[in-house]
Amino acid sequence: MDYDVIIIGAGPGGIFSAYELRKKKPGLKVAVFEAGYSLEKRKCPIDGVKVKSCIKCQTCAIMSGFGGAGAFSDGKYNITNDFGGTLYEYIGRERALDLMRYVDDINVSHGGENTKMYSTAGTHLKKLCMQNKLSLLDASVRHLGTDINYIVLEQLYNELKDDIDFFFQTPVQKIEALQGGGYRILHKDGSAECDKCIISVGRSGSKWMETVCQDLEIDTKSNRVDIGVRVELPAVIFSDLTDELYESKIVYQTAKFEDRVRTFCMNPYGSVVNENTNGIVTVNGHSFEDPSKRTENTNFALLVAKHFSEPFRDSNGYGESIARLSNMLGGGVILQRFGDLERGRRSTEKRIAECTVHPTLAATPGDLSLVLPKRIMDGIIEMIHALDKVAPGTANDDTLLYGVEVKFYNMEVKLNERLETNHPGLFCIGDGSGVTHSLSHASASGVYVADLIAEE
Ligand SMILES: Cc1cc2nc3c(=O)[nH]c(=O)nc-3n(C[C@H](O)[C@H](O)[C@H](O)COP(=O)(O)OP(=O)(O)OC[C@H]3O[C@@H](n4cnc5c(N)ncnc54)[C@H](O)[C@@H]3O)c2cc1C
């Protein structure tokens, strides 16, 4: 065998597997194959001047490379079983929380020592939410911020690089099960064999993961897709919530359809950004820990979950079609004032220019009601009015909505309690497994599998 362990994907799942293997079994021969660039080479060409929108690079520097999809994220590590994935269903609630805390300790000791941990424990905001038909979920969250998150990744890489073989710009094309045990992975420059293989390809690897499951006859289940918009408003409107909790995960059940709408990825004093998933441009957000890089706005997503079962099972395909429609109408992300949406008219360059909230992302003014299904749009409007009671001003005319935000979930790969497929020694972790949807859960799943391998 060329390697004891090959890890496919250098996102948080892959990085923490590598970190833990090196720590627990320093003698193991480990390689990481990554489709994207090394951290310092990850540069999105959008500069707002020469390149204003996504030019669909072959490898998206935002989604791929050392650090994975989370490298330029806000670096919010939520320690909770209430959201972010279902790792606890495989490994138990206490173990999952322990591992998330362990990951937090590593982040703190690799550059995150001056960052803050926020918590919902004992907050009066829970009662205020309840009184307004909103439910605030329990969590502790470490906010690293985009800047510190980068430093943590840099430090982790420097610690690993001498003992672990990293192959960047080397997407794995195929995995073959060897007779008598072990795996051969095929990539553009050749192949490598290993005793054990950890697949951690995240969301950007979801389509490839489907082919792996077909080739190796691994069972899968379709997953959900979350569709909605990113809301941007003056930071002061949400400051009671964000100053105390940083990120609040709030859920609302709509009166009309009894759908669940939730806040997601809250970025106080942050910026709205483009996200490219397999060539489809959607919206996301981030913020910096460094006060000098802050904006005057806070942004967060409002998402509605959609599940499909029979006869249509392709939840992601549904989300992609909606995102494509918005790309077709707006050439990318569409921007609309809440007041324009409620009045049934599109936003224009002029109306956005006159708006008291200044958009942090250059997007095309338009009409989101032409893109989002009525049921989803109604749910979002209802929730904005519900939030207005907890954070007055949320439903102001000048509140900005960017669309669409789609949160794709990978299909769920059938795994046992060791996060191992039906092929012994072939593990699947992180967002690519469908088990996790967050930095903390993905990282924890990496540590978990590495511990199992090290023990053996
Ligand atoms: C803009 C943005 C902001 C976010 N903010 C947060 C946040 O604040 N908090 C939070 O909890 N979550 C956040 N997320 C989600 C979080 O980034 C993911 O949940 C997390 O990165 C998942 O980790 P992972 O290791 O499973 O996968 P990924 O991070 O997606 O990493 C997978 C890696 O595998 C590589 N890969 C794919 N296919 C192959 C292949 N065939 N061969 C080799 N390599 C391959 C990819 O290039 C990628 O680098 C954010 C996501 C985005 C896009």
pLDDT band at 352, cuts 50/70/90?
very high
Span from the CA of 202 to the centroid of ligand 1 (angstroms): 5
Q: CA 304, 405, 291 angle in degrees (round to 5)?
A: 115
Q: CA 432, 58, 7 angle in degrees (round to 5)?
A: 35
User: Is the pLDDT reported for residue 94 higher than 90?
Assistant: yes
φ, ψ (nearest 5 deg) of residue 42:
-80, 105
Distances from the Cα of 52 to the Cα of 46, 287, 332, 360, 403, angstroms: 6, 20, 10, 13, 17
Enclosing H/E stretch for 186: strand 183-187
Interval 140-198: pLDDT, tens: 999 998 899 999 999 999 999 999 999 999 999 999 999 999 999 999 999 999 999 99
Nearest protein CA to atom 27 of ligand 1, as residue: 202
Any residues with Cβ below 6 Å from ligand 1, and which? 8-14, 33-36, 64-65, 68-70, 73-76, 78, 84, 171-172, 200-205, 208, 265, 275, 284, 286, 430-432, 437-440, 442
CA of 63, closest atom in ligand 1:
53
φ, ψ (nearest 5 deg) of residue 255:
-70, -35
CA distance 280 to 277: 5
**Cβ(100)–Cβ(214) under 8 Å?**
no
CA distance 171 to 322: 28
Sign for the CA dihedral angle at 129, 135, 141, 144 comes to: negative
Span from the CA of 200 to the centroid of ligand 1 (angstroms): 9
Rounded mean pLDDT, 227-236: 98
Interval 263-282: pLDDT, tens: 999 999 999 998 877 778 89
Nearest protein CA to atom 4 of ligand 1, as residue: 73
pLDDT the model gives residue 269:
95
Interval 277-332: pLDDT, tens: 777 889 999 888 788 989 999 999 999 988 877 777 778 889 999 999 999 998 88
Average of per-residue pLDDT values in the chain? 94
CA distance 339 to 343: 6
User: Is the pLDDT reported for residue 368 higher than 80?
Assistant: yes
Expressed in percent and rounded to 5, the helix, strand and coil fractions of the chain are 35, 25, 40
Do the strands 172-177 and 271-277 form a parallel or antiparallel pair, or are they unpaired? Answer: unpaired
pLDDT the model gives residue 44:
87
Q: To test ligand 1's pocket by mutation, which of 148, 170, 200 has the most ligand atoms within 8 angstroms of CB?
A: 200
- Side chain identity at residue 22, one-letter code: R
Span from the CA of 145 to the centroid of ligand 1 (angstroms): 16
User: Is the pLDDT reported for residue 347 higher than 80?
Assistant: yes
Q: CA 222, 281, 304 angle in degrees (round to 5)?
A: 50
Entry pTM: 0.85
Span from the CA of 303 to the centroid of ligand 1 (angstroms): 19
What is the share, in percent, of the chain residues with pLDDT greater than 70? 100
Best CA proximity match to 35, nearest among 71, 59, 16, 62: 59
Nearest protein CA to atom 17 of ligand 1, as residue: 70
pLDDT band at 50, cuts 50/70/90?
confident
pLDDT the model gives residue 404:
94
User: Is the pLDDT reported for residue 69 higher than 90?
Assistant: yes
pLDDT the model gives residue 111:
97
pLDDT band at 70, cuts 50/70/90?
confident
Rounded mean pLDDT, 226-240: 97
pLDDT the model gives residue 409:
84
Rounded mean pLDDT, 435-449: 97
